[in-house]
Structures are given as C-alpha cells and as structure tokens.
Structure 1
Amino acid sequence: MVLVAAAALAVGAPDAARAAPRPSDPEATTRVGYGGHEFTVPASWEVVDLDEHPDACVRFDRHAVYLGTPGNRPDCPAGARGRTEALLVEPSTAAGSTVTENRTAGTYRVVADGVAVTAAYADDRARIQSILGGAGLPVAAAQTEPTAGAPGAAPLPADATSYRGRGFDACTAPDQSAMDAWWSTSGYRAVGVYIGGINRACSQSKLTAEWVRTQYTRGWRFIPLYVGRQPASGSGSCVGGCAVITSPVSQGIAAADDAVRQAAALGFGKGSVIYNDLENYTPGGALTTRVLGYLDAYTERLHTLGYRSGAYGNVGSLVTDLVANRSSTTLPDVLHFARWNRQATTADPAIPATLWSEHQRIHQYQGDTAETHGGVKINVDRNQLDVD
C-alpha cells in the first residue's frame, strides 16, 4: 500500500491543508483540512491522498486518515482483519446532513457540508467523537443504525448463498470490470464478500445492494462474511489488534443482529447463510468457552431471525473446538474451514464424515495469493464450495 508521509502531504482538494504539530502539545497532533473541515488527529497517524494514490487500500486496522474517493483497483491483502481508530473522508454532493453510529461495528457515518466520513473505532470511541466534533460535524446528533428487523433491499432468490464449485474472497469487493473479467476467464463462480463486523479491516466502497444484484444476475453466488469480535487481540491476521470477545452471549447476539441488518441491506434475505469469521487461536480452557458461547449465541439468534449460520475458522482452532464439543453446543449450519493445503476438496481428516455432510462445507485451501485473470490482478483466498 502506498502511504503519504505525515510531513509531506499535498492533498488534492482545493482547500486541503495541514498544520505542523506544536512541540508543546501533550500528544503531538496534525490538522488535516478537506472539504471545508479540519480534522485534528495524532501526528503519528498516516495521511493518504487517494487522488494521488488510487491503488491505496483503505484499511481500518491501522491509524490513518484517507482523503478522497477510493480507487477502483485498491491493492488490498486478502487476509486483513482488525480494528483501530481511522477515518475515510470523501467528497459528497448529498443534500442535508445525516449521522449514524453502529456501536456493534464501531463505526460512525457522517454526511454533511460536502463530505462523507466513515470513522472507525475500537477502544477509543471518545477520540473519534472528539475528531469529528472538532471538525464541526454533528456527531452529538448521531442516530443508532436501524435494527435487524428494519426493511432491507429487495431480497435475492434463495440460491444466492448456495453453490458447488470454486470461489474466491477478497478483502474489498472488486469493481464491476474486474468481476466481469474474472467471470470470463477465471473459472470462479462464487465470491466471498465482507459485509460487516467490528474487525472488518477494508472499506467497501463498491459493496452495495446494486453491486450484489448485478453479480447475481451475471451468475455469481456469494459467501457473505461477517468479521465480528475475535477470540484474542492477536488472533490470526489481526496484526494490529482486534476487538475481542468479552461477553460471549450478549456480543454473539449483537453480532447476529448486526450481521442480519447488513445482509438484508445488501439483498441477502431469510434463508441465506451468514458466516461469522473467527480467526486462528489456541484452543482450550476459558478461551474455548468464550468462543463457543459467542458462536452458539450468534447461531441461535440467526435462526430466530430466519437466517442460516455459517462459521469460518481454522482446522486447528475453531474446527477442533466445534468437533470436540459437538454434543454440547449448537453447531453452525455450514462450516467454512481453513486448511491451506492447496487441495480443492471439502473432505478433511479433522472433520468427521457425519458432520456438515449434507452440502454444508466450504474449504479455504489457499490464502492471500495474487491472481490475474483477464488482465486484472486481485489478492484472494481460494475456496472450494459444497453448499446447498
């Protein structure tokens, strides 16, 4: 990812500006101007001009300010996960102002006075509130995002999350020309999309209900992935830290409610599978208890809301715990397991043949690899699906 050094940014917007940090500040800060607003952020945060660097990946797992419209072909790692405080500030022509907050996903969305801001946070919600408020944005008037029962987009047909064959997932949804090129030349027919969650690292500027419906019409099927709270801060690919499970039942229910809200907004209706992404961890003791309690609550709540539960995890962690505790926990309806052995099969020695045996498996058999099809390169994870 191309990043702009904090001391040398030349922002493309006409009124963009920054002031040097004052040495006397308890914590050195930088003022970043964009669209008539001035954001005061820690001087250690990277500032990225997306107009100058359209291939930059907008990520919320590192402290950064991204200015401008995300490019069509960002260079994002397939396996990025995690959450910290970060901002994406885009130009907007929308009339009026709106500000919403998703406490489950740690995100403010603000549209006001010519800008649209996505502000992510993990533990330091107060800092994000201060940054937005200091820029004259009406953060104090934030409304809570609608609940899981709120109307969404017109639902896709029931087979939207069913497929048998090859699929890929990428950190951010590819643009339309990339999807068309890969349809014509790659052999893939299913795509994993990260629909939400507090540890979803990459922004999703292309992922809309219209995008999802267009791909479905062209023949694509989907793996909707929700990156909720993780077993531990250093879980799997959460290099910069993850928001973790602390109250398994309440957080599992909240994750299910938010996952359904995000899925419905994209057109995934009742009966769809929504996969809770749980990165690798060391199973055992209290950690196993927290993970299974969280996933059990997530699954039960999804069933209540009319959706099917999927779970993504490594064969050495989540799969081990699910198999060992299968008689005392509510198993997810579909298992998406990771073993990077480059074998495109859904059979695995760690999974008894009697479990998830009725077309209820996805195998992620290779991870974070760059592929080029039709002249378009994307960093992907490779999957073999057997899901009805």
Structure 2
Amino acid sequence: MHAVRSPHTRRTGARALTVLLAAAALAAGPLGLASSAPRPSDSEDLTQVAYRGHVFTVPASWRIVDLKKHPDTCVRFDRHAVYLGTPGSDQNCPARASGRTEALLVQPAAVAAGAVTENPTARIYRANGDRIAVTAAYGYDRARMRDVLRSAGLPVAAARPERAAERPAVTPLPTNATSFRGEGFDACTAPSQSAMDAWRDDSVYGAIGVYIGGLNRACAQQHLTAGWVRTQYTRGWRFFPLYVGRQPSADGGSCGGGCAAITSPVPQGTAAADDAAKQAAALGFGKGTVIYNDMEHYEPGGKVTDQVLAYLQAYTVRLHALGYRSGAYGNTSSLVSDLIANRSRVTLPDVIHFARWNRLSSTSDSSIPSTLWAKHQRIHQYVGDTTETHGGVKISIDRDRLDVD
C-alpha cells in the first residue's frame, strides 16, 4: 500500500487521505463493526480507492476489504465498507443479518462499460465499468452513493430503473419448489454448491430459506442465481424464499436503527410485493409459489401494530394479484400475535413462518389457534443463531420445521 496526503476538493479545504490500492496488492483488515450513520459532513476526510483502473472516492472511515486476501469475509450491506474482488465460495456469514447502509462491492468482470441501473425499492445501484461490475447499496444517503459512483466515472446521472424484461427469460420451477414437510434451515447468504451437496448428503435438512431481496437484506448473494436454484431443486432441495422489506421501526425492535422503517404502509407494502415477485421470478420461483415477508421482532401496540398490519396486508393483496402466495415471518410475541388478534379485519398471509426458539421441532404452538394456518401452512423457526457442520462444511443457520403444501 502506498499512501500520500493531498487536498480534496470539498469547500472546507480539509485534507483527505488518498490510498491507491492495486488489485493484486491491496491492504485490508477484517471488516469492522461500523453501523448505519448519516452522510458524513463536508469536513470529513475522504479516501480514494483504485481498482482495475477505476478510482472511487469514499469516506475515510469506511473499511476497505480485499476479498482475494480475505475470501471468507461476509459481504454485507449493513456496514460501511468497500469490498474489492470476488466474494469467496464459503463466506463466514452470521445466521441472520438485516439492515442497509452505504456499501460497495466492486468485482472483476470481462465486460465493457454500460449503463447504471437502480432499484429504488431495494436501494441498490448496479453498474458495469470497463473490466468491473459494481453493486452499490445505500440506506438513507442516496446522494452519498451517487457521489461515490460519479467519482469513478460511472454515469449515475443517467441511471434508469432496473427492467425485468431485460433479464434472460427463466423457466419457472414447479410450484412444489416451495412445498415441503420436514427439517429445513435458513442462512444469511446462499451456500456454495459444494456446501449444499455436503449438507444434502450428511444432514437431515431438505429445505433452505433463501433471502431473495428487500431493502433490509444485509448479506450479498454471490451464489443465488436462477441456475443455482434450479440445480438445488433437481438435487432434491425445496425452498422458502424470504424478502426483507421495511421494518416496524427505525429505532426499535430487533432490527434496530440500521433498518429502513415503514412510513407509508400501503404503497410501501405494495411496492415490496412488486419487487419480491420480480426477484422471485428472476430466480425461477413462478406464480403459485410462496414468498415470505420477513418482519423482525418489535414491540406491538398502537401505531406500530397498525402500520405493520397495513403493510403486510398490502403485500399479501398485491402478491395475490400477481399470482403468488403470501408468507410472513415473525415472532410469536409480535407479528404472529398481532395477526391473530386482528384476523377478522386483515387479509392473513397464506403461510405463517413463526419464530419461537424453544428447540421443539414441531409446527404446533400453543399461541396459534389450531384453526389458523391449519392446512399445511406453517413453518416453525425453533432454533436461532446456531452453527452446524455437516460433511465437513460449517454454516451459521437458523433451524426450521416445515409443513407447507
């Protein structure tokens, strides 16, 4: 690493540290625990990060991670960071993570410069520069990320919305892709093929929860493609697709201040369903399959409950209109109890994925009336944040019992 001091161009006249990093000789430390934060002030120092001929100007406080040197680093978009290189096949990710802030993944790619696209619902920019592919996430500070992309010469001013029609056509899987009875697990990022094969041969699991999208999806998904999904299906795996949309509160609940909150429940729930269906279809989950909205734990009551129920109802109604079935993930003491208490006035999701970490592998629960979600419409997440090794492959997971038909 070669570092020099030079003035930056902001009006404060403060000095910024300029770090020129070559792809083959990049210095990086382990990813820090930086949390979501407002846009840095104009007086903050900046760092220039060079990769494959492109120079990105970012706040000096952001961590710089060389994925070639640290291939097991979990690429996450809930922490301020710049990830350079190709994510490793087996990242050391937590069982679950949620939230969104400004972060950048810059990968090598044999492509020419192209257009910049934006998914405003998921708050993601994607861009192809000369020999690089960029995924740029942002939380509350879209302007900061636009500055970062502009600094590398990427035409963010001309960014256009992602268009589903531009993606290669994907043949939908059979609707039983999201039907299963037995043991399953969910992980923050989709495991590698070798890991999936090892677990298929050496564990009791037959279904996997995959995080297909959402504004508050924290972990990047290096392996999660339509080809990956189809391969797992043909090898016997079944799925419960999870979509991490807006959360009940930006400053409370288990998601904390790093999550974008529900502020306009009906339009935001509808937009989440539109995006969830688009992301599902791109992976091969066609009409008739279940897409689960992930609602992290919150303190129920009053306005929070009203917002959650309105958001989830809009999500369910819109998914039905698009031909999909609606699932909902939540804690028995928050989302599930709110749904049960208000079942006469809301459209319930078709399938409930309830969290109670009691270590009981059963889809029955004393808090859920036997008449609700009674026809093979339940998943129970009964162990959380655990690590297991099967076939020599270790993954951090949550355990689930499925009864979905």
TM-score, normalised by the number of residues in structure 2: 0.90
What amino acid sits opposite 2:369 in the alignment? P
Unaligned runs of 5+ in 2: 1-16, 29-40
For 1:274-293, list aligned pairs within 5 A: 274-293=291-310
Deviations 1:63-88 (CA, angstroms, capped at 9, x unpaired):
11111100011110011110011000
Instruction: Quote the residue 2:314 is aligned against.
Output: 297
Cα distance between partner residues in 1 of 2:297 and 2:208: 22
Cα distance between partner residues in 1 of 2:396 and 2:238: 19
Question: CA distance change for structure 1 residues 50 and 235 in 2, over 3 Å: closer, same or farther?
Answer: farther
Identity among equivalent pairs (%): 68
RMSD across aligned C-alpha pairs, in angstroms? 2.2
SS in 1 for 2:258: coil
Q: Which is further off, 238-247 or 212-221?
A: 238-247
1:98 is displaced (CA, Å) by 2.9
1:357 counterpart = 2:367: no
- Report if the CA contact (8 A) 1:152-1:266 is conserved: no
Deviations 1:256-300 (CA, angstroms, capped at 9, x unpaired):
000000000000000000000000000000000000000000000
For 1:318-333, list aligned pairs within 5 A: 318-333=335-350
Question: CA distance change for structure 1 residues 150 and 351 in 2, over 3 Å: closer, same or farther?
Answer: farther
1:12 is displaced (CA, Å) by 5.5
1:53 counterpart = 2:63: no
Instruction: Quote the residue 1:186 is aligned against.
Output: 203
Instruction: Quote the residue 1:273 is aligned against.
Output: 290
Cα distance between partner residues in 1 of 2:81 and 2:221: 16
Aligned pairs, how many? 378
1:138 counterpart = 2:148: no
1:95 is displaced (CA, Å) by 3.4
1:148 is displaced (CA, Å) by 9.1
1:239 is displaced (CA, Å) by 4.9
Cα distance between partner residues in 2 of 1:159 and 1:233: 36
- Report if the CA contact (8 A) 2:249-2:256 is conserved: no
Instruction: Quote the residue 1:70 is aligned against.
Output: 87
For 1:1-388, list aligned pairs within 5 A: 11=21, 13-14=23-24, 26-146=43-163, 152-234=169-251, 236-239=253-256, 241-388=258-405
Unaligned runs of 5+ in 1: 1-6, 19-23
Cα distance between partner residues in 2 of 1:82 and 1:301: 24
What amino acid sits opposite 2:204 in the alignment? G
1:146 is displaced (CA, Å) by 2.0
TM-score, normalised by the number of residues in structure 1: 0.93
Deviations 1:334-373 (CA, angstroms, capped at 9, x unpaired):
0000000000000011100000000000000001110000
- Report if the CA contact (8 A) 2:167-2:282 is conserved: no
- Report if the CA contact (8 A) 2:18-2:49 is conserved: no
Deviations 1:137-183 (CA, angstroms, capped at 9, x unpaired):
11122120125998851100110000000000100000000000000
1:238 is displaced (CA, Å) by 2.7
- The ranges of structure 1 where at least 4 consecutive aligned residues each deviate by more than 6 angstroms after the TM superposition are 7-10, 15-18, 148-151
Instruction: Quote the residue 2:3 is aligned against.
Output: none
